[in-house]
A = this chain, B = another copy of it.
Amino acid sequence: MKNDTVNYPTLSFKDRVVSVALSRARELGFEIVACASTGNLANSVAANAASGGLKSYVFIPADLETGKVLGSLVYGTNVIGIRGTYDAVNRLCSEIAGKYGWAFVNVNIRPYYAEGSKSLGYEIIEQLGWRLPDHVVVPMAGGSLITKIHKSFKEFVKLGLVDERECRIHGAQAEGCAPIVNAMKIGADIIKPVSKPQTIVKSLAIGNPADGFYSIQTMKQTGGWAENPDDTEVVAGIKLLAETEGIFAETAGGVTVAATQRLVQNGRIKPNESLVLCITGHGLKTQEAVANKCGEARVIGPHLREFSALLDRKN
Q: A69-B297, A297-B62 are in contact. Are A80 and B248 (CB under 8 A)?
A: no
Is B62 a contact of A299 with CB atoms below 8 Å?
A: yes
Q: B67, A284: Cβ atoms under 8 Å?
A: yes
Q: Residue-by-residue, is A233-259 near B (CB-CB < 8 Å gives 1, otherwise 0)?
A: 000001100111111100000000000
> Smallest Cβ distance from A66 to chain B, in angstroms?
7
* Interchain residue pairs A-B with the least CB separation, the first 9: A4-B4, A51-B246, A47-B246, A81-B297, A88-B302, A76-B243, A284-B284, A73-B294, A81-B299
Interface residue ranges of A1-57 to B (CB < 8 Å):
1-5, 7-11, 46-52
A290 within 8 Å of B (CB atoms): yes
User: Is A273 located at the chain interface by the 8 A CB criterion?
Assistant: no
Q: Which of B48, B62, B287 contacts A66 (CB 8 A)?
A: B287
- Choose one: B4, B74, B91, B284; the contact of A290 (CB below 8 Å): B74
In the complex the two chains form, is B244's CB within 8 Å of A51's CB? Answer: yes
Q: Tell me whether A304 and B51 are in contact (CB under 8 A).
A: no
Q: Is A312 an interface residue (CB 8 A)?
A: no
Known: A8-B5, A82-B301, A91-B302. A290 touches B70 (CB 8 A): yes
* Contact indicator B82/A300 (Cβ below 8 Å): yes
- Take A82-B301, A83-B299 as given contacts and tell me if A4 and B5 are in contact as well, using a CB distance cutoff of 8 Å: yes
A223 close to B (CB within 8 Å): no
Assess the A242–B74 pair: CB atoms within 8 A: yes
| A70 B299 Cβ-Cβ under 8 A | no
- Of residues 52 through 103 on chain A, the ones whose CB sits less than 8 Å from some CB of chain B are 52, 60, 62, 66-67, 69-71, 73-76, 78-84, 88-89, 91-92, 95-96, 99
> In the complex, which of the residues B49, B70, B80, B297 contacts A73, with contact meaning CB atoms closer than 8 Å?
B297
Q: Are B48 and A246 in contact (CB under 8 A)?
A: yes
Closest B residue to A13 using CB positions:
B1
Minimum CB–CB distance for A83 against chain B, Å: 5
State the Cβ distance, A203 to closest chain B Cβ, in Å: 15
Q: Is the CB of A81 within 8 A of B245?
A: no
